[in-house]
């Protein structure tokens, strides 16, 4: 059985806390880090692993074992220098995916330049939504409609290619409703159940949030 993905969240402001809590509440292993001891102590009440540390220091990053983490989310947009150092050190340590929060387009360009794999604007994407997207690995995007329902865009699985929706009966198998088929950036909401699916398409569906794991 494949081990759970591991995460680290650097910076425990409102955004960082939202990401970390959502991941922890869904059973993920998360290391939460901030330089403010009071913030760390407060967060320890609901985040099992909290560290007070300076992640702009290469030795500290090494001691924390960040090189063994699958995904690091850098939530320190208030300090571009700290964000740049943290991103660079994580990539140098071998972290596969580094996501950084930014405040403007200039920060975005700089963070991508130093190795960030993804940069998010907090006003456009909430911490909870980012966490849900991370939890839903294999999905293109997840948008929560309510506590129980989400709109999800998913790639067409290899075993679905060459078959139509009637043959696949995805609603019965996965419990979701297909609302559109997307191909070449064009979204067709007039779904034809006899349309044959291919690897260049994706499905936009409404799914029960609790059952998203079945889609992975």
Q: What number of H helices and E strands is found in the chain?
A: 8, 11
Residue with token string 């794991």: 213
CATH of domain 6-135: 3.40.50.720
The pLDDT of residue 42 is: 95
- Residue 59: what pLDDT? 94
Fold of the 139-215 domain: Alpha-Beta Plaits (3.30.70)
**pLDDT computed for residue 85 by the predictor:** 93
Angle at 216 between CA 27 and CA 46, to 5 degrees: 15
Q: Where are the domains of the chain?
A: 6-135, 139-215
Q: What is the pLDDT of residue 103?
A: 85
CB-count burial class (<10 Å; 0-12, 13-18, 19+) for 147: exposed
Rounded Cα distance, 4 and 40, in Å: 24
Mean pLDDT by 10 residues, the chain (216 residues): 78 92 89 96 95 94 94 89 92 92 87 88 64 56 61 81 89 81 78 88 78 61
Dihedral (Cα; 34, 38, 40, 45), 10-degree rounding: -160
């Amino acid at each position: 059985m494949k081990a759970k993905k591991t995460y680290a969240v650097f910076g425990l402001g409102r955004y960082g806390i939202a990401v970390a809590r959502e991941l922890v509440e869904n059973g993920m292993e998360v290391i939460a880090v901030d330089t403010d001891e009071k913030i760390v102590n407060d967060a320890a009440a609901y985040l099992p692993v909290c560290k007070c540390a300076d992640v702009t220091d290469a030795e500290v990053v090494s001691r924390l074992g960040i090189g063994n983490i699958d995904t690091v989310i850098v939530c320190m947009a208030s300090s571009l220098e700290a964000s740049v150092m943290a991103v660079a050190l994580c990539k140098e340590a071998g972290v596969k995916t580094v996501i950084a929060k930014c405040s403007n387009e200039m920060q975005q360009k700089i963070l991508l330049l130093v190795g960030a794999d993804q940069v998010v604007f907090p006003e456009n994407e909430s911490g909870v939504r980012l966490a849900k997207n991370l939890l839903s690995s294999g999905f293109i995007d997840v948008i929560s409609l309510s506590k129980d329902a989400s709109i999800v865009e998913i790639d067409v699985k290899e075993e679905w290619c060459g078959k139509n929706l009637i043959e696949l009966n995805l609603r019965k198998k996965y419990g979701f409703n297909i609302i559109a088929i997307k191909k070449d950036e064009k979204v067709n909401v007039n779904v034809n159940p006899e349309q044959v699916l291919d690897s260049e398409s994706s499905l936009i569906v409404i799914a029960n949030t609790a059952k998203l794991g079945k889609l992975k």
